[in-house]
């Protein structure tokens, strides 16, 4: 294997020049986020003699960053578990170091027990488990031969454990080894330059093999127009969708060209100063080497005017696979599909059943072994599903498994985000004392793969499911106990969730109480209700700086990551144009000094800035404690003053109903400090921090987040008539009481009148 990889490496180097992948001899890229250092080394240290190694770069990933949400737990005599990792196209790995934070059982027999490390099925190293260090946490560093590394890889850890020299129970409680998910794998790499060819797009600006957070600068003229920002938003949302879970930052640069891979936006009227821009003859894209450092590339998105620039940006995000050469002219762009509400490619469809095969690959739906990994289905639900008084989301589950030889405690456990939902027993074939009976033989003929099919129907409690959720299926197989020296661990256990299994949310109306910052931070709602953001307007500051533009671009990247679609329908404007956007949901960016709407709409906001005094409406506080109290409106509304919050230190994220049109929403991101916006973006891209954002107002100070529900609330969406009536009375019990009293008084009055008339008739007789 080593020889074969060495030959492959030599071939790679031999073809590097004609393919445009050329060795670099200076420091590597440092703009991608991650734990990185740069060091100088001699060529002798490199495993690839043809590659000059005058500058090597190091970076590392923890197992948690690679997808291990929990620590790795190995149980039994021969368990195996692993994590995937990948290497960017423009890098050659010269060294790999694994740092394991681990602990193991003190009952293990030292000379029989060890930990095997395998990369792509090849043995990379073995780690002994000495008795002296058992039962305590320790760190092991292991070097891995870089010739084992390819583009896409999997590191597997196999625990070989024994506790006795005599007959042993393969699942004895003393057979355990734990590995922290903070263990890491460190790479030392030499970068390769890339040829100027559009056919390689989105590389080198985005590489799907690179698991680090992307940081890609955008370059503009000193004052980019709204139309230019719209075109840039389309491109950033496209790349944000590609980056997916990694996250992506898009720093904005005005008339400056950073030394990195960059994307430049230019028209005849808006050209970044002091840098070369190709001749613009229409909507086009072009790639060129960086004038200051040929290792980096510049992607030019160009048009003679704003309309052509938008055409070029749209074509780039749609038809990139058709481009080739150094420059491509866009001669025709077909009309884009008209989007419908809730049709985002990344979201569970709201108008039909969705099969599990649409959410995961066949390989991901299959497991093996007595203690298999979970079958995981990642789901993105519309955050405004209304499931009040419903049984939940119906699931039609079909699965297969190796039948048990006799009835036991084997089960299929179903969780949502680690929260238990239900369980089903894994049945055995009917058997007799003498062997398989007639029914068993008949079933065996029908099932040549020896997997027993089963089908169950259950419901997922919709009120317990966030917009981003993971449906988890755990096949737990009970190990048959035959007796001392008779227990043999056979690797013949298989199970699979059928890709034809389905779930259906089409029966749920869309109705949600707003403002709801949890829906915004997790799914970009309400803006992503239309996947192309055609009903969204971004209101920029009157004089936006690089920080404001970078915030906008990164937010568009988040929208693309949520929906899986570029924001072709986005509108960008200034505060003076706000009235034009009354029919849209508004995303408001800026500070107390450059965003006039913050003062103009102060009476409509749960948070307003006036000097150093911050005011919050107490309407909901009053209503929760005195439901019969009706909040005064306008200037008479009760407020509380909080002087401890200052925009020159904090970033504030808050939502409220649009003052321009009822039922429309505004989400404002405000900070007077440059890094304040960066704090918001970091919180939105951090899975741990984003869970702290909820309610109608979130105050963000670094990694500290305080969320609360203040101000007035409203509802977005619609309900069926009968459901709407029930929902109204459920939330207004006092109205029901008043209605009943009114009906009683009315009936009493009618009865009194009728009885008086009857009494008068009897008196006349």
Report pLDDT digits (tens) over 397-440. Answer: 999 998 887 788 889 999 998 889 999 998 876 443 444 445 55
Taking the CA atoms of residue 567, residue 569, residue 572 and residue 576 in that order, the dihedral angle to the nearest 10 degrees is -150
pLDDT at 13: 36
Sheet holding 152-160, edge to edge: 80-86, 152-160, 114-119, 122-128
Confirm if 400 and 451 have CB atoms less than 8 A apart.
yes
Q: Highest mean pLDDT range out of 402-411, 472-481, 654-663? A: 654-663
Beta strand pairing call for 35-39 and 91-104: unpaired
Query: Region 337-360: what's the mean pLDDT?
Result: 94
**Average pLDDT over every residue of 472-489:** 75
143 or 53: whose pLDDT is higher? 143
Any idea which of 212-221, 433-442, 666-675 has the lowest mean pLDDT?
A: 433-442
Peptide bond connecting 204 to the previous residue in cis, omega within 30 degrees of 0: yes
Question: Which tens digits make up the pLDDT trace of 449-458?
Answer: 467 889 999 9
* Helix, strand, coil abundance in the chain, percent, nearest 5: 25, 30, 45
Tell me whether strands 214-215 and 248-249 are parallel, antiparallel or unpaired. Answer: parallel
Between 626 and 69, residue with greater pLDDT:
69
The predicted pLDDT at position 484 comes to 63
Three-state secondary structure call for residue 47: coil
In terms of residues, how long is the chain?
Answer: 765
The C-alpha angle 702, 705, 707, rounded to 5 degrees, equals 155
This prediction has a pTM of 0.81
| Token code pair at residue 439 | 């029914």
DSSP string, 357-425: GGTS-TGGGEEESSSPPPEEEEEE--TTB--TTS--EEEEEEEEEPPBSS--S-EEEEEETTEEEEEEE
- Comparing 71 with 644, which gets the higher pLDDT? 71
Radius of gyration of the chain (CA): 31
How far, in Å, CA of 138 to CA of 133, rounded? Answer: 8
Two tokens at 278? 């190709």
Of residues 49 and 396, more confidently modeled: 396
| Per-residue pLDDT tens digits for 250-282 | 999 999 999 999 999 999 999 998 888 999 999
What SS3 state is found at 528?
Answer: helix
Chain centroid to Cα 484, Å, comes to 49
Tell me the pLDDT tens digit for each residue of 229-255.
Answer: 999 999 999 999 999 888 899 999 999
% of the chain surpassing 90 pLDDT: 46
Q: Residue 67 pLDDT > 70, yes or no?
A: yes
Enumerate the β-bridge partners of residue 177: 74, 104
């Amino acid at each position: 294997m080593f020889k074969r990889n060495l030959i492959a490496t030599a071939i790679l180097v031999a073809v590097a020049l004609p393919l445009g992948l050329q060795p670099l001899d200076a420091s590597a890229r440092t703009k991608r986020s991650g734990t990185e250092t740069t060091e100088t080394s001699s060529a002798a240290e490199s495993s690839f003699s043809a590659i000059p190694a005058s500058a090597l770069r190091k970076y590392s990933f923890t197992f948690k960053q690679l997808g291990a949400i929990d620590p790795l737990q190995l149980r039994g005599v021969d368990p195996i578990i692993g994590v995937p990792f990948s290497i960017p196209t423009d890098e050659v790995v010269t060294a790999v170091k694994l740092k394991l934070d681990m602990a193991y059982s003190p009952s293990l027999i030292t000379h029989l027990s060890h930990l095997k490390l395998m990369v792509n099925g090849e043995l990379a190293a073995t780690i002994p488990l000495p008795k002296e260090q058992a039962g305590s946490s320790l760190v092991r560093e292991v070097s891995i031969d870089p010739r084992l590394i390819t583009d896409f890889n999997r590191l597997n850890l196999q625990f070989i454990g024994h506790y006795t020299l005599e007959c042993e129970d393969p699942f004895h409680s003393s057979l355990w080894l734990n590995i922290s998910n903070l263990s890491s794998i460190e790479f030392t790499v030499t970068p390769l330059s890339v040829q100027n060819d559009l056919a390689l797009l989105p590389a080198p600006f985005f590489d799907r093999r690179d698991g680090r957070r992307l940081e890609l600068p955008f370059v503009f003229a000193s004052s980019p127009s709204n139309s230019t920002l719209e075109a840039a938003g389309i491109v950033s949302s496209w790349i944000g969708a590609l980056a997916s879970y990694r996250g992506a930052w898009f720093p904005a640069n005005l008339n400056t060209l950073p030394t990195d891979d960059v994307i430049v936006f230019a028209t005849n009227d808006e050209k970044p100063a002091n840098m070369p821009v190709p001749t613009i003859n229409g909507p086009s894209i072009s790639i060129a080497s960086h004038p200051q450092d040929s290792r980096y590339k510049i992607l030019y998105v160009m048009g003679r005017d704003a309309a052509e620039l938008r055409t070029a940006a749209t074509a780039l995000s749609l038809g990139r696979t058709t481009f080739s050469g150094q420059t491509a002219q866009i001669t025709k762009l077909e009309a884009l599909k008209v989007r419908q509400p809730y049709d985002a490619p990344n979201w569970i469809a709201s108008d039909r059943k969705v099969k599990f095969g649409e959410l995961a690959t066949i390989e991901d739906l299959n497991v093996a072994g007595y203690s298999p990994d979970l079958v995981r289905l990642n789901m993105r639900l519309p955050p405004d599903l209304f499931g009040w008084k419903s049984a939940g989301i119906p699931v039609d589950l079909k699965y297969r498994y190796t039948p048990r030889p006799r009835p036991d405690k084997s089960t299929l456990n179903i969780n949502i985000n680690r929260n238990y939902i239900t369980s089903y027993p894994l049945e055995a074939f009917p058997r007799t004392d003498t062997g398989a009976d007639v029914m068993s033989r008949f079933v065996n003929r029908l099932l040549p793969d020896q997997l027993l099919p089963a089908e169950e129907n259950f419901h997922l409690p919709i009120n317990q499911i966030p917009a981003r959720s993971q449906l988890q299926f755990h096949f737990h197989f009970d190990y048959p106990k035959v007796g001392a020296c008779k227990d043999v661990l056979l690797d013949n256990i298989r199970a699979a969730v059928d890709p034809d299994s389905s779930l259906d949310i089409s029966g749920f109306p869309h109705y949600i109480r707003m403002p709801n910052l949890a829906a915004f931070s997790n799914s970009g709602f309400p803006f992503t209700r239309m996947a192309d953001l055609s009903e969204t307007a971004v209101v920029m500051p009157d004089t936006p700086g690089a920080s404001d533009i970078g915030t906008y671009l990164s937010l568009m990247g988040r929208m693309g990551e949520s929906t899986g679609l570029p924001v072709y329908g986005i509108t960008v404007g200034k505060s003076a144009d706000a009235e034009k956007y009354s029919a849209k949901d508004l995303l408001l960016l800026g500070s107390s000094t450059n965003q006039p709407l913050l003062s103009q709409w102060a009476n409509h906001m749960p948070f307003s800035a006036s000097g150093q005094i911050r005011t919050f409406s107490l309407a909901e506080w009053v209503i929760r404690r005195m439901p019969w109290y009706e909040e005064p409106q306008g200037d008479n509304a009760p407020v509380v003053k909080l002087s401890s919050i200052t925009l020159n230190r904090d970033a504030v994220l808050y939502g409220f109903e649009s003052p321009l049109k009822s039922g429309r929403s505004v989400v404002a991101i405000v900070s007077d400090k440059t890094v304040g916006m960066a704090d918001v973006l970091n919180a939105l891209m951090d899975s741990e921090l984003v869970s702290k954002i909820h309610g109608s107002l979130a105050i963000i100070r670094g990694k500290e987040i305080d969320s609360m529900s203040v101000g007035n609330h409203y509802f977005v969406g619609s309900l069926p008539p009968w459901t709407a009536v029930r929902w109204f009375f459920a939330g207004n019990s006092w109205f029901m009481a008043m209605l009943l009293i009114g009906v009683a008084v009315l009936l009493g009055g009618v009865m009194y009148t009728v009885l008086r008339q009857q009494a008068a008739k009897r008196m006349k007789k």
